[in-house]
Amino acid sequence: METTLTNLLDLDPAQLIDYCAQLGEKPFRAKQLQRWIHQFGADDFDNMTDLAKSLREKLKTRAHVTAPAVISDHTSTDGTRKWLVDVGNGNAVETVFIPEENRGTLCISTQAGCAVNCRFCSTGKQGFNRNLTVAEIIGQLWMAEFELRRTKGIEPGPKGERQITNVVMMGMGEPLLNYEPTATALKLMLDDNAYGLSRRRVTLSTSGVVPMIDKLSQDVPVALAVSLHASNDELRNGLVPLNKKYPLAELLAACKRYLEFAPRDFITFEYCMLDGFNDSDEHARELVALVNHPVTGINCKFNLIPFNPFPESGLTRSKNPRIKAFAEVLMNAGIVTTIRKTRGDDIDAACGQLAGEVQDRTRVQARMEKMAEYQQKFGADFGKIVEIRS
């Protein structure tokens, strides 16, 4: 009978110890193995030279280290790099690296498609295909870190300069609707024998799955960003259907509970700026009242996001003066507010938007032509990635 091979990228630190125990190995072997995989980027057991030869021989017949295959790899003139990675059955997701002077941020996807169906998000309009596995989530970080090192000629291992200092779960999908694989991947990101990232430097973005926010606070509380996008329930119901199940009062209460365990003393609220829909001064004042309420208020900062238009939404981007005026209302109330800026314009690096179209790789050319058609119709900024400020 053929043995099913275990992908070791699927295992968090505790699971890898258990796996090694099943092979008759002691816990320190799991730590050695984990370092080879996640610190050196090794996928060949013969190269793991401090493992006993007997263990290496066992692993060759029972395990493998395999990240999702890269379909395309593009680098912008500003250094933004986008990979389109294959997650099987014609599905692909985007992984985007955004370099800055003092940090490198990687944007990771957790699902192929998305079931939340927010009105302003083109990924949701393309439907939900499936949850990604742990190997497909952490594999994006594994692939990107060591590909960036190879590109720059930096050696793998803890002595080499780390390229990815920050991770944001802001790509395709709702992370908290794929909870267990996402939490397992987060544990690997934080583990000192893997990537050793600070909890402050890993941010999970959610549309507001209240029970899972509470669970995350107990299991692996990283920095939290919440897709708010509206100042009252009526408005948010039309933008984020999940709000009908978990309205603003419940969401803010969950955020407040989360802060007791969070690595930062604030929640980031993401707010997509939609012309004539949620961008008036009155909406801004409503937000101020919401987050500064003496009882239910919460310590937060706002990240205002210029909308990337797409035809099915029926929405358009707020004008820059309107965005700035909106931000001033928030800032005058003492709320830290940032406006996201565009990056990677020349490589069409749209977080989730383009990747969600790639259902059948034999039709990539046709879909690229459709993207060009949309850009001609709706402007050159259609489908462009925006910088993540976390």
Residue list, annotated binding site for S-adenosyl-L-methionine: 173-174, 205, 227-229, 308
Find the catalytic residue in 107, 272, 300, 351.
Answer: 351
Single out the residue of 112, 116, 161 nearest to residue 140, CA to CA.
Answer: 112
Question: Is 351 marked active-site?
Answer: yes
| HEC string for the chain | CCCCCEEHHHCCHHHHHHHHHHCCCCHHHHHHHHHHHHCCCCCCHHHCCCCCHHHHHHHHHHEECCCCEEEEEEECCCCCEEEEEECCCCCEEEEEEEECCCCEEEECCCEEECCCCCCCCHHHHCCEEEECCHHHHHHHHHHHHHHHHHHHCCCCCCCCCCCCCEEEECCCCCHHHCHHHHHHHHHHHHCCCCCCCCHHHEEEEECCCHHHHHHHHHHCCCEEEEECCCCCHHHHHHHCHHHHCCCHHHHHHHHHHHCCCCCCCCEEEEEEEECCCCCCHHHHHHHHHHHCCCCCCCCEEEEEEECCCCHHHCCCECCHHHHHHHHHHHHHCCCEEEECCECCHHHCCCCCCCHHHCCCHHHHHHHHHHHHHHHHHHCCCCCCCECCCC
Out of 94, 136, 145, 270, the active site residue is 94
**Residues flagged as binding site for [4Fe-4S] cluster:** 114, 118, 121
Rounded to whole angstroms, how far apart are CA atoms 152 and 8?
27
Annotated binding site: 114, 118, 121, 173-174, 205, 227-229, 308
- Residues annotated catalytic, as ranges: 94, 351
